[in-house]
């Protein structure tokens, strides 16, 4: 048994902490097994462990950009926010697969987000969560939810659906038969 203790500078931490452990061969050896490592520094074993620091609801990846510059001439140029993501890979890490762009040209809106205005954040996150949940349900991600890693896109969507509805079947029924109630339930679930 071996105990390793690490001290991490809190100012360098964010939403997730990843620990990678490797066991390396210290010196060159001549093992009896022809498949065994022989050279010093050969990797004998490796494990990676990721854990959330901020609980189940990590900070959403956001960026403030000028839509009139970056999205000039596009239909969403005057929108206050844009969610950029692709539903093609539900297993991808959420923080690498989704990004929320805030329109720097809408200074009052950006200021409200930065000041953490509750209604502004609720409206914005309600829209974002609803977009992702609706897309996932229509795409039939049901099987992906059961085996999804919590940090994946499907894992985040499953978490959000669990906050708003009793189960995925209830969420699907609400989306298909009562879309207004579906969106309102999502909106209520993201209230800060």
In a domain, 134, yes or no: yes
175 is a domain residue: yes
- Whether 42 is in a domain gets the answer no
How far apart (Å, rounded) are the C-alpha atoms in residues 152 and 96?
9
Q: Which domain holds residue 111?
A: 62-189
The pTM (predicted TM-score) of the whole model is: 0.69
**For residue 106, is it within any domain?**
yes
Distance of CA 5 to the CA centre of its chain: 29
Predicted pLDDT at 112: 96
pLDDT band at 90 (very low <50, low <70, confident <90, very high): very high
Q: Is residue 31 part of a domain?
A: no
CA geometry: angle 179, 184, 189, nearest 5 deg: 130
pLDDT for res 145: 85
If one counts the domains in the chain, the total is: 1
Asked if residue 148 belongs to a domain, the reply is yes
Q: Is 69 helix (H, G, I), strand (E, B) or coil?
A: helix
- Residue at 41 is within a domain: no
Q: In this predicted structure, what is the pLDDT of residue 52?
A: 66
pLDDT of residue 128: 96
Q: In this prediction, what percent of the chain has a pLDDT beyond 90?
A: 53
Average pLDDT in the 85-97 region? Answer: 89
């Amino acid at each position: 048994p071996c105990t390793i203790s690490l001290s991490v500078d809190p100012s360098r931490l964010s939403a997730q902490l990843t620990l990678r452990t490797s066991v390396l061969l210290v010196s060159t050896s001549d093992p009896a097994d022809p498949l065994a490592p022989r050279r010093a520094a050969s990797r004998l074993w490796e494990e990676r462990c990721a854990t959330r620091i901020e609980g189940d609801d990590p900070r959403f990846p956001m960026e403030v950009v000028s839509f009139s510059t970056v999205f000039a001439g596009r239909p969403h140029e005057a929108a206050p926010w844009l969610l950029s993501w692709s539903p093609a890979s539900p297993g991808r890490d959420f923080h690498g697969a989704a990004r929320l762009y805030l329109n720097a040209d809408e200074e009052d809106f950006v200021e409200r987000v930065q000041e953490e205005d509750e209604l502004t954040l609720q409206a914005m996150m309600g829209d974002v969560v609803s977009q992702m949940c609706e897309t996932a349900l229509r795409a039939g991600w049901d099987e992906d939810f059961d085996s999804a890693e919590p940090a994946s896109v499907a894992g985040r969507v499953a978490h959000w659906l669990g906050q708003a509805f009793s189960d995925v079947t209830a969420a699907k029924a609400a989306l298909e038969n009562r879309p207004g109630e579906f969106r309102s339930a999502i909106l209520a679930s993201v209230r800060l």
